[in-house]
Structure 1
Amino acid sequence: MATYSDVQVTCYHCGEDCHNRDIIIQEKTFCCEGCKLVYEILNQHDLCEYYDLNNKPGVNQRITVRKDKFAFLEDEKIQQQLVQFRDESQTHVNFYIPHIHCSSCLWLLENLHRLDKGIQRVTVNFSKKEAVIIFSETQTSLRRVAEVLTAIGYEPYISLQDLQHKKPGIKRHLIYQLGVAGFCFGNIMLLSFPEYFTGSGHTDAGMNRLFRYLNLVLALPVFFYSAQVFFKSAWSGLKHGFLNIDVPIVLAVVVTFIRSVVDVTQGQAGYFDSMSGIVFFMLIGRILQDKTYQGLSFDRDYTAYFPIAVSVIREEKEVPTALPDIKTGDTLLIHNNELVPADGIIVRGKALIDYSFVTGEATPVNKSVGEIIYAGGRQLEGNIEILTIKEVAQSYLTSLWNRDELKNKEEKHVSFVHLLGRNFTWVVLLIAALSATYWGFHDPSRIWPAVTAILIIACPCALLLASSFTNGHILRILSRHHLYLRNAQAIENLANTTHIVFDKTGTLTGKTGSDVKYYGDTLSPFQESLIASLAKQSTHPLSKAIAAYCNTTTLTPVRDFRDVTGKGVCGWVEGNFIRMGNAEFTGAHNKEEADGSIVYLSFNDKLTGLFTIHNNYRSGIRPLLKQLQQQYPLSVLSGDNDREAMNLRRLMGHETALLFEQQPADKLAYIISLQQQGKKVMMIGDGLNDAGALKQSDIGISLTEDSNNFTPASDGILEAGQLPLLLSFVQLCKANKRIILASFILSLAYNITGLYFAVQGQLSPLVAAILMPASSISIVLMTYLLSEWQGKKLAGKVLGEMSDKNHIPD
């Protein structure tokens, strides 16, 4: 029969397990005081409908927020850079809130005015996880708004990047240009309809003449406004000596417009419908191709990870100071779990620094007074004070983004579509020249009709439509499976990969969770609870892993706890003196060898056993690597030491290059060396230490546990759980190229048909009106169906992967 202790109780607010069941209010149990406090706030203001919209919608509040964390928002200089609009009655600010995840979040944030009367309105952008908050500064303040959000579990993330980089506005001009082109195209087609029946005797000549001039008027905004995007792109390519795909399109648009104007003045219909159709369909394709994921950031630099301000000690007082204002010689107070923003020397306190995000080294390092610590590390244990020796802009971390190799890196990739377009243009010009030469000898009056007709009908718009629509659709299919690529060129670069490089820590291994094994005397549940009680006194990751391994909710007070830097921890628990640490600290005579980290255990100065701890490799990574090894050479670059070398060698195979203790500069140099050998490199990493390598590689994929949060600069963002599908993503990108080539062949068939009439100088508006829309519509339909078919194949692989996870142990 199950006892009360056997039944797992979950938190009413966040849904996590309640290890401490004493936190109860109104017969509702909470996992921590933080969750209880949020409930009390909502209950006090009659906002408990929040819990009715979704089951346990809150976010865990076990980690408390420092009281004066947002004191820097009282600084007028910082306010001016964050505030979007301000007048006497209202102030607008846009906060990024990572914890937005469901409809309950939307409801609560949009009712924020019930918690603070100074807040007038909140508008939430769910996809971007942003909230635009309008408030009155006579009733509340920017700091107070941030603290209210934090109090209910929606702490805004405010970084140095918010001060230094303004977010680009939404590009609306393409939408406006498309709207104008669509309006004009539709009306020109309508007014051109009588021209198709001119020879039947059922039309009025006067009305036809009026319609032709109306078409000319409607064509003017298409030519001078809507087509500007193509004119600019073609001119940019010509300035750099490159004949891109937009050059023949511009040539076709210009020639069509000029010939149509001439035709109208001579009493003929012209080709305004074809010209406006070209621009309209091209703009649709361009918008699809240029569509980006605005909720993601592919261009993060170090400022995206740093807070806006830090506490500076001046005259024994904490003064919130903006990071750009920190000078060499300032004394900074770094609180527990805060990022170190500048290189400095420790002057007070004991540091345990996690450099995993900067160097890739998974094990935190102990630092004492007088030692240097570098920007980008995270302090894990208590508060420390450091004396800055370099300003933020000159720190080691900043140098990762300021390397000459990256700043001067030229665009290496030219799409095969542009290469096809360039060759296509020369062929068209050659045909036009040969046709002009032929008619020059036989019938000079046909030179103008023949040459202009060739340039009109042989426009490579079908090729551009094929690439634009296919790329746009493939980007959407990939995004459905949580691979977000920067642009269409990234699809091609992914398909062209010849060498794959992995980071280890946080990429092949998970950022959380460790594989812990115990060897030695059998431990009773009582002894495990004593070990967990001691381990929970330390913030060291190895102690946390052991505490999680013991998996007990019964904790006992610890007396005389000591944490000896670099050696281990000890203390009295229930009359037992327990030590955990290295061999010397625990009295082990024989030092064991094993993969990963070793923590020895002794009870009352008698060695009891040892724990081996190493990171778990991600689920599904083994079959993925086995597949990749058959098709690509692989490399692993790790900032960690080589303790995992044997494990990793078994996982990666003997052909894979394994490099350990790699600094960011080493990773960058390795990528460059592979590229100098002519290889197309895909780099997959997760941290700031990978930033240089990700930017230098032909295609850099940033792996993340949360696509809206901390990712370094990259060409793509991949959610960690989707990494086992990497080969399927590459195959889909290769299929993308095949679809475009098949569409190009179809467009050639249309062009050859049109050229048959054009070279004879007999291309009528009716033929052009049929061929141009028919080719465009059929190309779009073909690319959509083929892309969707490939997408369904990928979806089938996803289901297969899920089935394997459920039935086959990894």
Structure 2
Amino acid sequence: MKHKTCFHCGLDATSANVTFDNKPFCCIGCKTVYEIFTVNDLTCYYDLQEAPGATPKEVAGKYNFLENSKIVEQLLEFNSDDTQIVNLYIPYIHCSSCIWILENLNKLHPAVSASIVNFGKKTVRVTYSAQKISLKELVILLSSIGYEPYISLEDYSVGKKKADRSLIYKLGVAGFAFGNVMFLSFPEYFEVGEFWLEKYKHLFRWLMFAYSLPVVFYSAQDYFISAYKGVRSKILNIDVPIALGAAVLFVRSSIEIILDTGSGFFDSLTGLIFFLLVGKFFQQKTYSFLSFERDYKSYFPIGITKITDEGKEESIQVYDIKKGDRLLIRSEELIPVDCVLIKGKARLDYSFVTGESKTVSKISGDKLFAGGKQVGGNIEVDVLKSIEQSYLTQLWSNDVFKKDKESSFTTLTNRISKNFTITILAIALIATGYWLLNDSSKAINVFTAVLIIACPCAIALSAPFTFGNILRILGKRKFYLKNANVIEQLAKINTIIFDKTGTITSNKDTSISYEGEVLSSSEETLLKSTLRGSNHPLSRSLYELLSENDILTLDKYQEYIGIGIEAQYNNDYIKVGSAPFVKHELEKDTLNTTVHISTNNKYKGKFTFYNAYRKGLSQLFNILKKDYDLVILSGDNEGEKENLTKLLPPKTKLLFNQKPEDKLEYIEYHQSEGANVLMVGDGLNDAGALAQSNVGIAISENVNVFSPACDAILDASKFNELANYLKISKSAIKIIKWSFLLSFIYNIIGLYFAITGQLAPVIAAILMPLSSISIVVFTTICTNIVGRKLK
């Protein structure tokens, strides 16, 4: 009978006798999955990789516990009205086909609006309509196509599985076998005579063969599987030469043992796999360390207003929030924790979580989920649980907001690894051919040593380890980057654009004077209550200045970004903002920044702001002018032009009366002229400009306002360090280039000794992880030296 493999999963389908569309399947389940994909026009799943699927398991009744609303509530990451989001751990995710089908779940079921795969963590984050599909139905759908989620009922947590210890087990098996094979090889090494030849030679050789079997078929299986999948997909990955070298060693050694022509190379084979796994274990541990640093130490310098038991307001860091705290959430602020609405009317934008900017209205007593942005007036909430310290990082780094900013070093690394494999295979074949003609005893060693010594692992490690360490160093210095690609983009910047108010000015030291009719106590109370709900820098300064008054719960509140605020309490109506907004004719000689007030359509007066600039501003600009074009784009009038002209370098461009859309257009135009633009703003009025720029930095000063559009968040206290941070990003690129060069030098020297037959495979296997370790050590030392210069 002709052997047949399942078209879906690749298992033996000879005896199953299940066919559909002229294709063999091992079971009805695989056939059903293929039918589902065919009906939904998803058969290109099989074009990405041959037989990529898994056999679906019978799950009837298995997930009945997901009908329990309490369990579902614990599993959900987000649950509001019709939209639910769940993050499921799926152990079977293993290739590009898996990613493709899981990110196209919306084609299998229209209730799924988005699904994003995290390949490294083997998770899929699914956004779906709870009215059209339940969590149980979603899990059954995933199981039916071979991607059954792992759900732990122990603590209602998803994906909190036991740590994967398979690499440790494989390393242990390889180490045990390597040690015993080396011990059994001693008689051969020391050329022991009669004892070895007459009594135990064959026994020792067969024992070495036996020890090598678990090493090849268990410890080294990942290399063979990866190489096989790569070749099947017509991709030469870096595991191809490793698998080829190990296979050649095993086959050659086995033939020698069977034919009794020699003792083979089992010592080299087991040593090779052992040292490769040591290098892999070291790499995995280092990546885990960098991930830990990123997830749990990259706290944003975001403040939140806590209302104390005495009714006073105090600013605290978000990670100091505790269960039971009462928080004040202002307009445009992000809700950092799950909470219950106590006071006010909530109008929430959950685009941070779902990617959709549709607002949701909530009333007192409703539960509010972390990640929503309040776009109405101020509200008061009671905290249900303390913040997960990595949650805001996760939201900020959400794939929904990723801009298409290619990382040239990631691309370069991948390209080098691919071309390297092709080149090394060619060199290995040519060198082996040469030695077969001249000294066939060296040919096998040369072939294997070349394949191992030139593995481009060290090159592949250069960029991630350098960028990872720089991320950690900058995070400790209160400069928080969205991802590693931002470092590379910062190094390319040639133009820096600054917003004025709240960016180069400090709200704390601003002085304010008032001109106009005296406000009555009720008007002042209404003004204070109106300003309380705004996060604009001028609103915050004015709010702090006004004397303490009873805070009102406003009947109406509306903030127009960059223009002003209007609010209403009972029959009293107030407008706060620009002169045109309050319908007041602006005096021609007024040049300072002003905020105008009108109550019940009657103009009352204006507050004039006298800016205090951030410490070290002049020095910072004088340093930056050497390498960058500097621009100030301000929405204010030209009142501060004379002061800024004196304070800043002569060639600094000063543009005033710029609306948010004007800033965006200015950046877009200069980018079309070849400029790489860094935009530094307060994150509130500058969302468009931050998104358009090559890199957008939001300045944070004890307010819980930042945009997914920004690429970095800079603590206001470190504003004068900006030049040093830009310098570090350039140093990071130099470090990567130097590490690339070191890798090439190492490979060239190693190849010379391998090709000339002076390098045994086991020595090559020892040197390969050592080269990777040396690159990690080099990048770590260099980045730490660069980091110390910040102190």
TM-score (norm 1): 0.52
1:596 Cα deviation after fit: 1.0
Which range moved further: 450-459 or 261-270?
261-270
Distance (Å, rounded) in 2 between the aligned partners of 1:643 and 1:219: 76
Pick aligned residue for 1:258 from 247, 254, 259:
247
Map of 2:279 onto structure 1: 281
| Selected match of 1:780 from 751, 776, 779 | 776
Match among 180, 200, 203 for residue 190 of structure 2 = 200
Shift of 1:613: 0.7
Contact 1:701/1:715 (CA < 8 Å) preserved in 2? yes
CA distance in 2, matches of 1:333, 1:774: 59
Residue 274 of structure 1 aligns to a residue whose secondary structure is helix
Task: Report the 3-state secondary structure (helix = DSSP H, G, I; strand = E; otherwise coil) of the residue aligned with 1:507.
Answer: coil
Task: Tell me the amino acid that sits aligned with residue 734 of structure 2.
Answer: R
**Aligned match of 1:453:** 449
TM-score, normalised on structure 2? 0.53
The 2-side partners of 1:764 and 1:263 are apart by 15
**Partner amino acid for 1:596?**
T
Give CA deviations for 1:576-598 in whole Å, capped at 9, x if unaligned.
xxxx999999x999764232116
Local SS of the residue matching 1:683:
strand
Select the residue among 570, 576, 593 that pairs with 2:590: 593
Q: Structure 2: state its 5+ residue gaps.
A: 1-66, 78-83, 86-155, 257-263, 303-331, 381-397, 532-537, 552-556, 568-575, 599-603
Residue 476 and residue 219 in structure 1: after superposition, are their counterparts in 2 closer, same or farther (change >3 A)?
farther
Q: Which residue of 1 aligns with 2:269?
A: 271
Conserved 8 A contact 1:334-1:379: no
Q: 1:462 to 1:718 in 2, by over 3 A?
A: same
Where does 1:4-403 land on structure 2 (aligned, <5 Å)? 82-84=73-75, 176=165, 178-180=167-169, 182-184=171-173, 186-194=175-183, 197=186, 198-201=188-191, 205=201, 206-207=203-204, 209-225=206-222, 247=237, 249-265=238-254, 266=256, 267-269=264-266, 270-282=268-280, 284-285=282-283, 288-289=286-287, 291-292=290-291, 293-294=294-295, 377-379=375-377
Aligned-residue CA RMSD in angstroms? 6.0
- Give, in whole Å, the separation in 1 of the partners of 2:213 and 2:71: 50
Q: Which amino acid aligns with 2:272?
A: S
Within the candidate set 510, 517, 521, 1:515 is matched to: 510
CA 1:650–1:193 in 2, change beyond 3 Å: closer, same or farther?
A: farther
Instruction: State how many pairs are aligned.
Output: 539
Per the alignment, do residues 660 and 493 of structure 1 end up closer, same or farther by CA in structure 2, a change over 3 Å counting? same
Residue 220 of structure 2: SS of its match in structure 1? helix
Q: Is the 8 A contact 1:457 1:768 kept in 2?
A: yes
Rounded Cα–Cα distance in structure 2 between residues aligned with 1:514 and 1:236: 66
Distance 1:732 1:215 in 2: 48
| Equivalent residues of 2:346, 2:379 under 8 A apart | no
Contact 1:503 1:637 in 2 (8 A): yes
* Alignment match, 1:723: 719
Structure 2 Cα separation of the partners of residues 535 and 176 of structure 1:
65
Residues 660, 518 of structure 1: alpha-carbon distance in 2 compared, 3 angstrom cutoff: closer
Does structure 2 conserve the Cα–Cα contact (< 8 Å) formed by 1:282 and 1:465?
Answer: no
The CA deviation string for residues 415-451 of structure 1, in whole angstroms up to 9 with x for no partner, is 3444554564565355335435644664677655434
| Residues 310 and 321 in structure 1, CA contact (< 8 A), matched pair in contact too | no
Distance 2:505 2:232 in 1: 45
Contact 1:535 1:547 in 2 (8 A): no
Q: Which amino acid aligns with 1:273?
A: G
CA distance in 1, matches of 2:681, 2:484: 21
Instruction: Read off the aligned partner of 2:179 and give its amino acid letter.
Output: L
How far off is 1:632 after superposition? 1.3
Distance, in Å, in 2 between the alignment partners of 1:499 and 1:320 is 38
Distance in 2, matches of 1:500 and 1:168, equals 45
* Cα contact 2:184–2:204 (8 A) shared by 1: no
**Is the Cα contact below 8 Å between 1:687 and 1:712 reproduced in 2?**
no
Post-superposition offset of 1:458: 0.9
Give yes or no for contact 1:473–1:784 (8 Å, CA) kept in 2: yes
1:680 is the counterpart of 2:669 = no
Alignment of 1:409-424 (within 5 A): 409=404, 411=406, 413-415=408-410, 416-418=412-414, 420-421=416-417, 424=420
The alpha-carbon deviation at position 281 of structure 1 amounts to 2.4
Summarize deviations over 1:315-341 as a string: whole Å, max 9, x none: xxx99999899xxx9997999xxx9xx
Which of the residues 449, 472, 477 maps onto 2:473? 477
Unaligned runs of 5+ in 1: 1-75, 87-92, 95-166, 312-317, 340-357, 359-374, 383-400, 522-526, 558-562, 570-579, 602-606, 797-810
Are 2:595 and 2:607, in contact at CA under 8 Å, matched by a contact in 1? yes
Report the counterpart of residue 613 of structure 1 in structure 2.
609
CA offsets per residue over residues 664-698 of structure 1, 9 Å max, x none? 65555544444444443333344265445545544
Q: Give the whole-Å Cα distance in 1 for the aligned partners of 2:232 and 2:663.
A: 34
Contact 2:590-2:639 within 8 A present in 1 as well = no
**Matched residue SS, 2:679:** strand
Deviation at residue 556 of structure 1 after TM alignment:
12
**Matched-pair contact (CA < 8 Å) for 2:498–2:631:** yes
Cα deviation, residue 655, structure 1: 3.4
State the Cα distance separating 1:181 from its structure 2 match.
5.1
For 2:511 and 2:232, locate their aligned partners in 1 and report how far apart those are by CA, in whole Å: 58
CA contact (8 A) 1:177 1:226 kept: no
Task: Provide Cα deviations, 1:68-126, integer angstroms capped at 9, x if missing partner.
Answer: xxxxxxxx99988743389xxxxxx99xxxxxxxxxxxxxxxxxxxxxxxxxxxxxxxx
Q: What is the Cα deviation at residue 454 of structure 1?
A: 1.4
CA distance in 2, matches of 1:238, 1:689: 49
CA deviation after TM superposition for structure 1 residue 629, in Å: 1.8
1:707, 1:717 within 8 Å by CA — same for their partners in 2?
A: no
| Counterpart contact for 1:597–1:613, Cα < 8 Å | yes
CA distance in structure 2 between the aligned counterparts of 1:180 and 1:695, rounded to whole angstroms: 47
Paired with 1:322 and 1:491, the residues of 2 have a C-alpha distance of: 30
Confirm or deny: 8 A CA contact 1:256 1:275 kept in the other structure: no
Q: Distance in 1 between matches of 2:697 and 2:231?
A: 32
Contact 2:348 2:374 (8 Å CA) reproduced: no
Contact 1:711 1:717 in 2 (8 A): no
Instruction: Verify the 8 A CA contact 1:596 1:612 in the aligned structure 2.
Output: yes
Match of 1:739 in 2: 735
**Post-superposition offset of 1:538:** 1.8
- 8 Å CA contact 2:735–2:782 kept in 1: the answer is yes
Shift of 1:455: 1.9
The verdict on how the C-alpha distance between 1:754 and 1:226 changes in structure 2, with shifts beyond 3 A counting, is closer
> Is the alpha carbon distance of 1:594 and 1:81 closer, same or farther for their aligned partners in structure 2, counting shifts above 3 Å?
farther
| Pair 749,705 (structure 1): closer, same or farther in 2 beyond 3 Å | same
Residues 673 and 215 (structure 1 numbering): CA distance in 2 closer, same or farther, change over 3 Å? farther
Aligned equivalent of 1:629: 625
| 2:488 matches 1:488 | no
CA distance in 1, matches of 2:231, 2:720: 43
